[in-house]
Amino acid sequence: MNKINQKLSIRWTYLIVGIITMLFAGVLYAWSILKSPLSAEFGWSPSELALNFTLAMTFFCIGGLLGAQLSKRLGHRMALISAGVLSAAGFILTALLNNVSVAMLYVTYGALAGIGIGIAYNVVIATVSAWFPDKKGLCSGCLMMGFGASALVLGNVADVMFKSTVGWRVTYVALGVAILVVLVLAAVILKTPGAEVVFSRADSSSKPVPEEVSEKQEFTSGQMLCRPSFWMAFICISFLAAVGSSVISFAKDLVLSVNAPETLAVSLVGVLSVCNGLGRIITGAVFDIIGCRKTMLCANALTIGAAAVTLMAVYVNSLALCIVGVCLTGMSYGACPTITAAFTSSFFGMKNFSNNMALMTFTVMVGSFVATASNTVLEATGGYTATFVMLLSLTFVALVLNIFIRKP
């Protein structure tokens, strides 16, 4: 048992490395801050810049699939190094843009950086999660927390650099180089558990959840795609994520609409990010205690509550309710990536987790498109009521699907 514990103790080091790596990879989500100097420099419209983020999310999902294949064929180290090169190229080439159309931004930041970050996201989760078959939720939650905290941490660092003598071009280059260095170091440090590493129930500090006890079956991606449980979960998580994606896209203006001071509105955007990170790790811990199905239902209920409270806030013009709604939305949005990873490993096994996880990650893309639709409704109606009625309706559709999900 001592030898087993010695071999397993390294996994906590890998988890810390994974969190740091995800922190740098998650800078892609700081687009609301990173786009500001581009608008001033090139005069690109808000809709053109919004499309760039949608494309980045699309290529992020494609990168996840590519990462699964690269990791399978070349190993996780080469996959992470490739991710670092692509991500760095995306940021550095964006810094070099000059007198070009917005289409070039779509290539550099949207495609190159999006694919690179997508590869890193998939490979890091798959590699580190392999060390935590007994603590799937905790591992997923910690990694997702690092990814979600990036917008708050690195986003604010970038904002300070933008406003200093450094300027936006040097800032973009610095971010690209930093991501490359971190991903290369992660490639060197992280390892996959060998055959000599034995995971037993004795290694878990908590009691096994009944639904996890009989988990033996491994599913290929083709088999997974043929299971109704996959499609119900995919649509369910997409709709839940859409609420958070929508609110994030207009959070500041939403708070201002209920007569909040400018400083408070800006602060609440940061609070939203903090709640996002907390939601990720809390969901992971809850998953390990009550299991996959109950956690998914709790996440669904939380999202319904978030949308309902925010709808009531805009309907009665209440700042207090809006603050509560923003906090609940942040936590509910943070729950989505955690349950995505934990659900995939719990329902379909770890053998093909990397590729299966890449397919499940497309919920991010669906959520971003729904967020675009939310903004369209907002522009058409001139208020937030219709937008949140639509989002609340989606959460109830998600609940119906959630109830009927059964383990294959």
Cβ atoms of 293 and 211 within 8 Å: the answer is: yes
Domains 2-189 and 219-403 agree in fold: yes
Over residues 162-193, the pLDDT tens digits come to: 888 889 999 999 999 999 999 999 999 998 88
Cβ atoms of 157 and 34 within 8 Å: the answer is: no
Which own/partner pairs from 203-208 qualify as long-range (CB within 8 Å, at least 24 positions apart)?
A: 203/4, 203/5, 203/8, 203/134, 204/134, 204/135, 206/288, 206/289
Over residues 226-242, the pLDDT tens digits come to: 999 999 999 999 999 99
Is pLDDT of 249 > 70? yes
CA–CA distance, 238 with 231 (Å, rounded to integer): 10
Which helix (H) or strand (E) element contains residue 158? helix 136-163
Is pLDDT of 325 > 90? yes
Report which residue type is found at 274. V
Q: What's the sign of the alpha-carbon dihedral 207, 210, 212, 217? A: positive
What integer best gives the mean pLDDT of the chain? 86
Query: In this structure, what token pair is assigned to residue 408?
Result: 């294959």
Is pLDDT of 347 > 50? yes
Query: Average pLDDT for residues 253-276, to the nearest whole number?
Result: 81
Query: In this structure, what token pair is assigned to residue 253?
Result: 């203006």
Cβ atoms of 65 and 123 within 8 Å: the answer is: no
Q: What is the pLDDT of residue 159?
A: 84
Q: What is the pLDDT of residue 7?
A: 59
Cβ atoms of 51 and 106 within 8 Å: the answer is: yes
CA–CA distance, 57 with 334 (Å, rounded to integer): 16
pLDDT band (50, 70, 90) for residue 212: very low
Query: In this structure, what token pair is assigned to residue 22?
Result: 């995800």
Q: What is the pLDDT of residue 198?
A: 59
Cβ atoms of 215 and 346 within 8 Å: the answer is: yes
The CATH number assigned to the domain with range 219-403 reads 1.20.1250.20
CA–CA distance, 285 with 132 (Å, rounded to integer): 13
Domain positions in the chain are 2-189, 219-403
Task: Give the global pTM.
Answer: 0.77
Query: In this structure, what token pair is assigned to residue 44?
Result: 């690109």
Q: What is the pLDDT of residue 334?
A: 87
Angle at 191 between CA 187 and CA 192, to 5 degrees: 130
Over residues 114-131, the pLDDT tens digits come to: 999 999 998 998 899 888
Q: What is the pLDDT of residue 300?
A: 95
2-189 CATH, one of 1.20.1250.20, 3.30.390.10, 1.10.3210.10, 3.50.50.60: 1.20.1250.20
Report which residue type is found at 311. L
Is pLDDT of 210 > 50? no
